[in-house]
Amino acid sequence: MLKLPPRVTDRAFDRLAEIAENAGGPQVLRVAVSGGGCSGFQYEITLDAPEDEDLVLEGKGQQVVIDPVSLPFLENAVIDFTEELIGARFVIENPNASSSCGCGISFSM
């Protein structure tokens, strides 16, 4: 049973709203975890449609979805958006990760 669901920051919802506006229609952000990457697991962040069994996180008229297999890996995580000199991207702050690689896409537990 999921104790603390992931949370999405206002900054991430704002960026998703900008993406939807530029695309001319609603966009749903999917956050998933799969095996691979340099640390054992990796995040997959894509634009997708919600599935029946997904957890749907809503805010500011936007939706972020997470599949049931990925949920345990993202318990109490924070989905955010950051703009830095190296670029702008969605990021995951995951308290369950024991280590992560320099790119922030791959992690281990």
From residue 84, alpha-carbon distances to 20, 65, 89, 90, 105 in Å are: 22, 25, 9, 11, 16
Q: Would you give the DSSP letter of residue 3? A: S
Distance CA 86, CA 46 (A): 20
User: pTM of the full predicted structure?
Assistant: 0.85
pLDDT at 99 over 80: no
Residue 39's pLDDT is what?
58
How is 53-68 classified by DSSP, letter by letter?
Answer: T-EEEEETTEEEEE-T
Query: How confident is the model over 67-79, as a mean pLDDT?
Result: 94
| Domains of the chain with bracketed CATH | 7-108 (2.60.300.12)
Give pLDDT tens digits for 17-71.
999 999 999 999 999 998 775 657 888 999 999 999 999 999 999 999 999 999 9
